[in-house]
Amino acid sequence: MTRAPDRFDLESFLPYLLNQAAEATSRAFQAVYRDRYGMTRTQWRVLAHLGQFGAMTARDICARSHIEKTKVSRAVAALEGDGMLARAPSPEDGRAEILSLTARGRAAYAELGNLAQAHDRTLRGTVGPEASAKLDEMLRRLIDAP
């Protein structure tokens, strides 16, 4: 049985493993949104947030996704430039803007969402269906840790 080594072991270092897994699983899908819509990863995520949860402010996206606000800001600008999303002034807060997808943005989300779901299924297939639920839970715990 494998046990924790006495010396530091890079290849069992959790941040390292997670980075590699994240990189490996993201890269395949990256080609999809890059080739079809010229999007960056952050743009795809912002689109997905708005597509899934509906209109919200940039601040909300930051809070939900833990993406840096400058990244969100630039992704929003790019998506707006591509006609994927529109900004509306918030009636309650003069600083904030309500972001929502345009028809074009919704169409992109519909297509990419389906492809993403398919990708997710094959990934979960490689770890096994029961284990995959456990995996989610562990990842969430790490994300929400101190």
Q: Whole-angstrom distance between the N-terminal and C-terminal Cα of the chain?
A: 31
Residue type for position 61:
I
Q: Which is nearer to DNA, 93 or 136 (CB)?
A: 93
The verdict on 138 binding its own copies (CB under 8 A) reads: yes
- A 10 A CB-CB count for 105 gives 23
Window contacting DNA (CB under 7 A); options: 86-94, 100-108, 116-124, 134-142 = 86-94
The verdict on 94 binding DNA (CB under 7 A) reads: yes
Q: Which residue, 116, 98, 32, is CA-closest to 61? A: 98
What secondary structure letter does DSSP report for 92? Answer: S
The verdict on 16 binding DNA (CB under 7 A) reads: no
Applying CB under 7 A, among 46, 47, 76, 112 the residue interacting with DNA is: 76
The verdict on 97 binding DNA (CB under 7 A) reads: yes
Kindly identify the residues of this chain, within the stretch 84-113, that bind its own copies according to CB under 8 A: 113
The verdict on 136 binding DNA (CB under 7 A) reads: no
For residues 15, 17, 20, 24, the Cα torsion angle rounded to the nearest 10 degrees is -130
Q: Which does 76 bind (CB under 5 to 8 A by kind): DNA, its own copies, none?
A: DNA
CA-to-CA separations, 112 to 1, 102, 107, in angstroms, rounded? 42, 15, 9
Q: Is 67 helix (H, G, I), strand (E, B) or coil?
A: coil
Q: Which is nearer to DNA, 51 or 58 (CB)?
A: 58
Provide, rounded to whole angstroms, the least separation between the CB of residue 30 and its own copies.
9
Residues forming the site for DNA (CB under 7 A):
40-42, 57-60, 62, 68-77, 90, 93-97
